[in-house]
A and B are shown apart, each in its own frame.
Chain A
């Protein structure tokens, strides 16, 4: 790491109708520095890096790259200058292999054989095991990320931007990634690292710029700052960790027995002999790397996928062949991961979306006719009690930010007096304060006697709220174990360790 400034951002502002995404933002990254951009959802991190990558044009302010004015109008120009970016959501074609996917992202791809050799060389050099001939549809999330990273590294960037890179990784895979990033940094590549996982930033980054509501509120050296202090800077308030009351466990309210189901999703994972029980007052945490059957498990529990009646028992009902409406009737509510299009209809208003699942348990219909007044009252109750920031209940769901919509959708399910709650990724993409509120609300329902299943890729979250813990790996569920006494390392091994390491050994051999 040298002190030479690589990229200087000077007083940049960007407004969208109704919001100031960035206001007067300045910071600098030195050559070879690992710089964290820290902030809650909606703090303006994404807008800022999109401007650096040429996807969005700033309204005012300027940038300098190695001292020269830098104003990319397209990602192509940013890439030419030496800026590369790994997005949170991968843009890969599942039906193509690794090398073909890499070629698609390049300006002048070399012939396949040569490209495959270069991919192999880069992947070995940086300890990112990857076989160029494998089809992307068969790769784990961590391996897919390596495809994106290698695609960037082939351009030999001066600045690598990484947007929330660890959300899809096992702890072991995070370690591999960090080793790679440190190596890149020691070779002089600067890294702009976007995250809200504070321990990671403390382990990896040299400097941090903290954004709140579009403005820079602080800069700090993460190694010398506590995670708690950074979190409070980020949120602008004191944080209270969720409160757990020890609750006596009641009878079993959800029982799944030897459930095997084919996946309806292309490249999905079939469920294989899944069995577990959840008692009243208990939270079962289900971990696993994305794509190991989480979506399928949620569908099988919500009633969108049906099975033999006795495979799923809800609150005493043999509910395997129940549809979603009947399962709600039996007392089960569910919250899928994908908010825009699955848990909510994006173009419909919040009122209509409140009706989407609340119709039955909240008694919002009379002989098939919708009581819109009661539905609006329900929507507004959820908005008020879960602090959903919206101009009103008439707004289309797609107009809300991910975190705000999630608060609404979780609130919608929790406010239906449920007996069984199933949630996939409760706080994915949600800011720290909102995530804490959501976790607390889940725990409150458990304390009131609901049985809860939380499927999540955030291990810290599961360890914080779950009583028992199991892992989905390749569609199989491990035997649930009490959370007390589990270590992160043990969990990582339950999750399948580092995916694709066998390829690394193969490549080295």
Chain B
């Protein structure tokens, strides 16, 4: 029989070890799943984890990694701040969409003016869009004590409806012959977010993600605000005793995570996606939750986790096209990662004892 015994202090080793164990367990369980689907598990795992990095098309796929990882990292870092404080913003997907819609609106309103100020204005508008969307659950929570998980999640579906309306209505390309979707940003230079180094996949979103990771790392390690965020999450009563104002903390954390998700949306719509379309959002806001936890809610960990998750995206698409794996199987595979991570997380605070063993020792 197994028994869990609480450690006096959390194990440093397992804090960093659990993500690795979770990845390995996901590969094993995923392999079983793929085998049950009638695919060669080794081929699938290799397609997902190896081919994008070192395979035949790696020259292209490596760039795709940064394209996918950028928004994941940017959103996950914002979420991690809130999660650290015990504030559960689950609706980053909606904030991402609203950032894209409002940021794109500003850019499209200026069309066809060419000015250096347009893109910065769009960036600000994108951040504002995500921020204002996150303020709704934040203010409802602080005023009426509503649950931010439910409110932020439900606002995702409202945002998707607004997105559909934008693509088919108020942002539709007037020269698009009635097809849904906005003007393309790639042909509107002042408002586009191009690849900065050819083939690298790095655009302004990736730069923003890395800069944010650095800033948030410093905030959490060295700034009193970071201390208050951690304190509020670990010991809410001690946080009040220290002097943290819970209302202000909710507004700050929700605001930052919303603004970062909005930024991710803006960089995506003006860059890789290229236009507002009905199916513009691809679940980055939800996947970023997995990335945040996989990265231990630590900005540097999140950068690594974002790259790993991007790998499963890129590799998953490869597996879908080359091996014919259903895309739902890839989503299950990604979900397993969070499942196993939360499962093995118990090791950092508890140690496993084999009871049989203890009895013999007596």
Binding site for B on A (CB under 8 A): 17, 57, 59-60, 302-304, 323-326, 328, 334, 336, 338, 341-348, 352, 355-357, 359, 365, 368-370, 372, 395-396, 398-399
Taking a contact as CB atoms under 8 Å apart, the answer to whether A396 and B8 are in contact is: yes
- Chain B residue at smallest Cβ distance from A347: B234
CB pair A342–B237 under 8 Å, yes or no, is yes
A357 and B241 contact, Cβ closer than 8 Å, known pairs A345-B231, A347-B235? yes
Q: Which 8 pairs from chain A and chain B are nearest by CB?
A: A325-B243, A345-B235, A324-B243, A399-B8, A396-B9, A342-B237, A345-B238, A356-B242
Q: Which of A57, A343, A370, A398 contacts B223 (CB 8 A)?
A: A370
Q: What are the residues of chain A within 8 A of B237 when measuring CB–CB?
A: 338, 341-342
Per-position binary interface string of chain B over residues 204-243, scored 1 when its CB falls under 8 Å from any chain A CB and 0 otherwise: 0000000000000000001111010011001101111111
Q: In the complex, what's the smallest C-beta–C-beta distance from A357 to chain B, in angstroms?
A: 7
Contact A304-B223, Cβ < 8 Å, known A346-B235, A347-B10, A356-B231: no
Q: A359-B224, A368-B224 are in contact. Are A303 and B235 (CB under 8 A)?
A: no
A323–B9 CB distance below 8 A: no
B335-362 with Cβ < 8 A to chain A: 362
Q: Is B161 an interface residue (CB 8 A)?
A: no
Cα separation A429 to B258 with both chains bound (whole Å): 46
- Residue from the list B8, B10, B222, B241 in contact with A304, Cβ < 8 A: B241
Residues of chain A lying within 8 A (CB to CB) of residue B242: 324-325, 356-357, 359
Q: Which residues of B contact A370 (CB under 8 A)?
A: 222-224, 227
Q: For the complex, what is the distance from the CA of A302 to the CA of B238, rounded to whole Å?
A: 12
B53 CB to closest chain A CB (Å) equals 37
CA distance A345 to B10 in the complex (A): 14
> How far is A368 from B131 in the complex, measured between Cα atoms in Å?
24
Q: A324-B243, A325-B243, A395-B9 are in contact. Are A341 and B235 (CB under 8 A)?
A: yes
Point out the residues of chain A lying under 8 angstroms from B230, CB to CB: 348
Q: Tell me if B234 and A399 are in contact (CB < 8 A).
A: no
B234 touches A348 (CB 8 A): yes
B10–A303 contact, CB under 8 A? no
Among A60, A344, A347, the most chain B Cβ lie within 10 Å of the Cβ of A347
CB-nearest residue of chain A relative to B232? A345
Q: Is the CB of B321 closer than 8 A to any CB of chain A?
A: no
Known: A344-B238, A348-B231. A323 touches B243 (CB 8 A): yes
- Whether a CB of chain A sits under 8 angstroms from the CB of B245 is yes
CB distance from A113 to the nearest CB of B (A): 41
Contact of B224 among A344, A346, A365 (CB under 8 A): A365
Task: Report the number of A-B residue pairs with Cβ-Cβ less than 8 Å.
Answer: 76
Are B222 and A372 in contact, CB atoms less than 8 angstroms apart?
yes
Given contact pairs A341-B238, A399-B9, A323 touches B245 in the complex (Cβ within 8 A): yes
User: How far is it, in angstroms, between the C-alpha of A356 and the C-alpha of B241 when the chains are bound?
Assistant: 8
A346 contact set on B, CB distance < 8 A? 234-235
A369 touches B235 (CB 8 A): no
In the assembled complex, the CB of B141 is this many whole angstroms from the nearest CB of chain A, namely: 18
User: Nearest residue in A to B6 (C-beta to C-beta)?
Assistant: A398
Residues of A within 8 A of B227 (CB): 352, 355, 370
Are B234 and A324 in contact (CB-based, < 8 A)? Answer: no
Chain B residues with CB under 8 Å of A324's CB are 240-243
Known: A356-B238, A359-B224, A396-B10. 16 other contacts (CB 8 A): A57-B362, A60-B362, A336-B241, A341-B238, A342-B241, A344-B235, A344-B238, A345-B238, A346-B235, A347-B10, A347-B234, A355-B227, A356-B242, A357-B241, A369-B224, A399-B8
Q: Decide if A369 touches B234 in the complex (CB within 8 Å).
A: no
CB distance from B83 to the nearest CB of A (A): 15
A360 CB, nearest partner CB in chain B, Å: 8
How far apart are the CA atoms of A304 and B239 in the complex, in Å?
10
Closest to B245 in A: A323
Task: Let me know if A343 and B241 touch, CB within 8 A.
Answer: yes
Interface residues of B in 179-223 (CB under 8 A from A): 222-223
Closest B residue to A335 by beta carbon equals B241
Contact of A302 among B8, B231, B241, B362 (CB under 8 A): B241
Nearest CB in chain B: distance from A257 CB, A:
24
A142 to B276 alpha-carbon distance, docked (Å): 68
From A325, which residue of chain B is reached at the shortest CB distance? B243
Per-position contact with A for B1-21: 1 when CB-CB < 8 Å, else 0? Answer: 000000011100000000000
Which B residues lie within 8 Å of A342 (CB)? 235, 237-238, 241
- Which residues of chain B are near A60, meaning CB under 8 Å? 362
Within 8 Å CB of A345, what residues of B?
231, 234-235, 238-239
Contacts of A334 in B (CB 8 A): 241
| Interchain residue pairs with CB less than 8 A apart (29) | A57-B362, A59-B362, A302-B241, A303-B243, A304-B240, A325-B242, A334-B241, A336-B241, A342-B235, A342-B237, A342-B241, A343-B238, A345-B234, A345-B235, A345-B238, A345-B239, A346-B235, A348-B230, A348-B234, A348-B235, A352-B227, A359-B224, A359-B242, A365-B224, A368-B223, A369-B223, A369-B224, A395-B9, A396-B9
Q: With CB as the reference atom, state the residue of chain B lying closest to A327.
A: B243
Residue of B nearest to A346 (CB): B235
* In-complex Cβ contact of B222 among A326, A336, A357, A369 (8 A): A369
Which residues on B sit within 8 Å (CB–CB) of A325?
Answer: 242-243
- Please, how many angstroms separate the alpha-carbon atoms of A370 and B229 in the complex? 14
Within the assembled complex, what's the spacing in Å between the Cα atoms of A355 and B234? Answer: 15
What residues of chain A lie closer than 8 Å to B240, measured between beta carbons? 304, 324
Residue of B10, B230, B235, B239 contacting most chain A CB atoms (<10 Å): B235
Q: Which of A60, A356, A396 lies at the interface centre, i.e. has the most chain B CB atoms within 10 A of its CB?
A: A356
Q: For B241, what are the chain A residues with a Cβ–Cβ distance below 8 Å?
A: 302, 304, 324, 334, 336, 342-343, 356-357
What is the 8 Å Cβ interface bit string for chain B, positions 242-284, against chain A (1 contact, 0 not)?
Answer: 1101000000000000000000000000000000000000000
Closest B residue to A323 by beta carbon equals B243
Bound CA–CA A159/B223 (angstroms) = 56
CA distance A356 to B242 in the complex (A): 6
Chain A residues whose C-beta falls within 8 Å of the C-beta of B362 in the assembled complex? 57, 59-60
CB distance from A348 to the nearest CB of B (A): 6
Complex CA distance for A172 and B222, rounded to whole angstroms: 53
Interchain nearest-CB distance for B281 vs A (Å): 36
CA–CA, A26 and B228, complex, Å: 49
A60 to B361, CA, bound (A): 10
B225 / chain A contacts, CB cutoff of 8 Å: 368
For residue A341, which residues in chain B have a CB less than 8 angstroms away from its CB?
235, 237-238
Complex Cα–Cα for A60 and B243 (A): 49
The residue among B9, B225, B239, B362 with the most chain A CB atoms within 10 A of its own CB is B9
Contacting residues, chain A, for B224 (C-beta < 8 A): 359, 365, 368-370
Residues of A within 8 A of B239 (CB): 345
Which B residues lie within 8 Å of A357 (CB)? Answer: 241-242
Q: CA A355 – CA B231 in complex, angstroms? A: 11
Cα distance A333–B223 in the bound complex, in angstroms: 23
Inside 8 A of A304's CB, which chain B residues have their CB? Answer: 240-241
Distance, CA A359 to CA B225, complexed state (A): 12
- Cα-based distance from A372 to B225 in the complex (angstroms): 14
CA distance A302 to B239 in the complex (A): 13
- CB neighbours (8 Å) of B235 from chain A are 341-342, 344-348
Nearest CB of B to A334, in Å: 8
Q: How far is the CA of A326 from the CA of B242 in the complex (A)?
A: 11
Alpha-carbon gap, A235 to B303, bound state (A): 54
